[in-house]
Structure formats: structure tokens, C-alpha cells
Structure 1
Amino acid sequence: MKTWPRTQILAIWSRFFPAYEHIRALLSQKALGEVKVVCAELGVSITHYARLVEKELGGGAILRIGCYCIQFAMMVFGSEKPESITAKGFLYETGVDETVTVILQYSGKRQAILTFTIMAPMHNQATICGTKGAILVPDFIWCPTSVITNEKEKKFPLPPTSKTMNYHHSTGMSYEAEHTRQCLLKGLKESPVMSLADSELLANIMTEVRRQVGAILPQDKE
């Protein structure tokens, strides 16, 4: 029996949604010209969950939801390492980060501005702005079902199910599962959509963001 090699640090399910595939296709076609700015926000009021606010459980906005905004910017800029990372934020009473804004500066005067919080709901959307137009992910940046390109919307309905789901758009996890199956059939050791290098870069960016805002976890001292 084949097993999936342990090469994925962060299995970002968002990358495998058809909406994300559509965005990558538009970017590869230079539909927006040269991308200059990416803005993304994700906010939900979830401090009542212990796993989101306790240090020992890896809580905080950066690790729990900020990863989706950061990986989105990474995808748009082709997994390029930022020239600089600037982060400002506030800590929750338990010492984890509660609200953070990150600016990623890239070569060629390109920039990503990302905001995420576990304190309040936000629009949870993202915008990619280029010299020839813009792409808007109108909601649910981590599991989108529509994309608006230069004011024209394209929808991507989720797979139907008769089951009750615990989380929003949970049936979208089937996209990642099918991608994994295809990788196994092809004998690939890692995903070309979310590679080991992508996972490591994402983890390194999040670690630097946590360092700058002072969200230090017990595991950081080990």
C-alpha cells in the first residue's frame, strides 16, 4: 500500500479550490498586467474557543487564520520570498496575538497588506490589483466559491452533499483529497500546488510575524 510522504508542513486546503485555480490561470495569462498590490483580510469573533487563545494549544490569529491571508499573497507573487516583513498587532490577555496587520514588501515595488483578527468579524475578502485590472474574492478567502474579475463574476459551486457539515464550505476539502489522490497516482512526493518549499516559506513568515508582535509560544523556547 502506498503512503503519502511526510513532506507537507502546512496543508492549505484553500489552494485546491476551483476559485483558486481560476485565479492562478488569470495570473499566468497576465490578465491583470503587472500585479502591484494584494490586500486580504480575515476576521472572526472566536475567542470563546480555548484552542484559539491558549498558548499551549498554539492559539492566536497568526497561526489559526492569518496563514490563509499570507498564503494567498504567496500564491499571487509566485512563492517569491518577500524583501521585508513588517508586522504590528495586539496581544490577547493570554499572550497570543489577537489582531495583526502584516506588510510584505516584494521586489519591483510590489506589496501585500494583510489584516486578521480573532476579535471581530471582517468582510473576509481579498483583492489583487494590477496595472490592467483587479480580481476580487468577495468573501470566504480561505474557501471561496466566486471570483470577480474586472467586475465580472464567475461562480464555483461546491460539491453537493446530504451530510451535515460542522464548518463553512467543508465539502471543499474534497478538492484537496482528490489532488492528493492524483499526486499518489502520479508517484509525486509532494504537491506542485502547495510544495514543501511553499510550506516552509509560509511557516517562516508566520514565525517572523509572531516574533515582531511578541506572540511567543512555549514551543519557541524548545
Structure 2
Amino acid sequence: MFETVRIGIIGTGWIAEKMAITLQGMGDDVIAYGVASRDADRAKAFAQKWGIANSFSSYEAMLQDEHIDLVYIATPHSHHYEHAKMCLLKGKAVLCEKAFTANAAQAEELLNLARERNVFITEAIWTRYMPLSRTINEFVSNGVIGEPTMLTANLGYPIGYKERMLQPALAGGALLDLGVYTLNFASMVFGTEIEKVVSTCVKTDTGVDSQNAITLIFKDHKMAVLHSSMECMSDRQGIISGTKGHLIIENINNPQRVTVVSGDYEMLAHYNCPPQITGYEYQVYACIEALREGWIESPYMPHAETLRIMKLMDQLRKEWGVIYPFD
């Protein structure tokens, strides 16, 4: 079973294109079987451009196709809940783009439904599945920089003009699109036992956060200082500081290089990420593994962790007064 996993894509934007590029380069384990859009012409054009055999003029039509094993959801955050629920009710496994849903209530309902139906679902936050992310954790746990006590993470792109970023009805704002990476970075390194959260944001005229600063204090007194912005091009760096040195991670949402720095500020070593198609392939491989093993969640991004991060983002938005129609 699942010798070759056939994937259907919901959505035809840039993220969907990135997945199509990925699937083209992955070999025999996976096939880009179909793409669906509410616009038949868009679906057909996308399929022709990326060599996908089947296009569908509605999501429902694609989900009726018995050949599809896994559905990748690449629509705006505001639509993830609706589209993932459609898939689960049809018994289709789901790889759903981050942020998983618009809020924790939606996430909890989907995860409960997946358990009830015994159908696989996972969040496509690609950083969680990457080999270099595991290497970073090994450095931290092996004492390469001594006892880690603080980390910082920055992620920003000047994309605040985009409609999907501006509108509360599309679950817009920097937090769900970019801040979700900084929160996951902190969680992958320091864990889940957060004792205190201090934060602030700058809001747009439409009422979503355009820039934010979040400080997490953990129960073991470790501290994470996180920034995300949809107004500027940041350095995208993560720095993990310990008692004997620090690690510099280039591009926290797709780690490209880790530099080990000694307590004397000497560069000791550089570790580059393995060659990749786009970086999306690792989450697809994780889905293939789960389907073959009969799992309903991936150990790389457990359901409990998806839900915990969603609850944390709900808490932050509540403090900032960033409200979505679905809240």
C-alpha cells in the first residue's frame, strides 16, 4: 500500500507552485496527480504548466477521485479549516500549510475529526521536518555551546501590501504568516514549558499586526526574544546563546547554514544544509512515512504541538486586539 503516493493540490498560488516544483523533483515515491481551483481555467493552466495529469474545477470534484492519497492545502489561512475538513470527511490524508488554521478552536476540531475518522493530517510547517533542524537540536543537547540560556529569532519580508496579509477576513497579519516560524523555532530549541509571555505589536489600519515582538520566558529560566514583520526585510537569523558559545542559524524558516562560535567569539565550524529541491520535500517524505506506517500524525509535528502553538497565537492576538471574523 502507498508504494507511490498520489497528491492532489488545493490552490494555485505561489505556494502551490512551490509544491509542484518539489513533486517534480522527488522521483517515484510521489506523483503530482491533480490540482483543484474554483476557477477551471486556472486549474487547467496550472496543471499544464507543471505537468500535472488532472485538473478539477472544484475542490469537491478532486476529493471524489479515489486515486488521491494525500491532499496538500495551499489556500489562505482563513480557508484551511474549511478545506481540511472537506478532505477529512472524504477520508483524504492532509498536509495543510501553516498556519494550520485561523485559531485554536478550528485546529482542535480538525484534529478531533482526524482521530475520529482515523485519517492522517499534519501541519506543513516545513522547518519542523528539515534535517538541519535536527542537527541544531543535536548541537544544543550535546553541549557544543554549553548550557543554552537565550535565543533570538527574526523573520521579516516587505509583503504588507498583499491582500492576504492585510485582511482580518483572510486571517492576515505578520503573526500567522511569519511569527509562527519564530515561535516554532523557539519551541524546537527550548521546548514547551513557557512560564510567561510578554509581547507588543504595531497594527495596520485594517486591524492586523504588521510587526510584533514576543518574549517567552521558560520554566527553566531560558528566554526567547522573537521578532516578525511584514514591513521589512530582516536578517532571518536565529541565534542560540549558551555558557560556552553560540550558534548562528541562517534563515530560520529554511535553515541553510549553522555556524558554531566559541566563547572567545571564534568561528569553530560551519554546517550547510543538504542539497534540496525546495525544502518542501522533507514534509512530503514525512507524510509518505506516516501513510505507509498507518499513523494519523507525524512525529516531526505532533498534533499536540500544532494545537499548543495555535493557542499561543490566539493568546497573543487577544492581547493585541487582533480579531478575526472566525474568533
| TM range, smaller chain | 0.7 to 0.9
1:100 aligned to 184, 208, 212, which one? 212
Deviation at 1:31, TM superposition (A): 2.4
Letter aligned with residue 192 of structure 1:
P
Greater relative contact order, per chain length (Cα 8 Å cut-off, separation 6+): 1
Q: Which of 277, 280, 292 is residue 185 of structure 1 equivalent to?
A: 292
Matched, 1:124 2:241: no
Aligned-pair identity (%): 30
Pairwise CA RMSD: 1.6
Matches within 5 A, 1:158-169: 158-160=275-277
State the partner residue of 1:24: 137
Write the distance in 1 (CA, Å) between the matches of 2:169 and 2:252: 27
Go from structure 1 to structure 2 and tell me whether the alpha carbon gap of 1:192 and 1:28 turns closer, same or farther (over 3 Å shift).
farther
Whether 1:149 aligns to 2:266 is no
What is the CA–CA distance in structure 2 between the aligned matches of 1:30 and 1:200, rounded to whole Å? 30
| d(CA) in 1 for partners of 2:174, 2:298 | 26
Detail structure 1 runs of 4+ shifted over 3 Å in the superposition.
1-4
CA contact (8 A) 1:81 1:201 kept: no
Question: Counterpart of 2:316 in 1: which secondary structure?
Answer: helix
- Show structure 2 runs of 5+ residues with no match: 2-68, 70-91, 94-118, 262-266
Structure 1 or 2, whichever has the larger Rg, is 2
CA shift, 1:34, in A, is 2.0
Instruction: Tell me, yes or no, if the aligned pair for 2:129 and 2:282 is still in contact at 8 Å.
Output: yes
Q: CA deviation at 1:52?
A: 0.8
CA distance in 1, matches of 2:188, 2:120: 22
1:36-80 CA-partner distances (Å, limit 9, x unpaired): 1010001111022100111101100001110000000001012x2
Aligned residue among 41, 44, 60 for 2:157: 44
Aligned to 2:40: none
Say how many residue pairs are matched.
Answer: 207
Cα deviation digits, residues 163-211 of structure 1 (max 9, x gap) = xxxxxxxx11001101211222223221111111110111111111111
2:289 alignment partner, SS class: helix
**Is 2:120–2:295's contact at 8 Å kept on the other side of the alignment?**
no
Cα 1:216–1:64 change in 2 (3 A) is: same
Residue in 1 that maps onto 2:183? 70
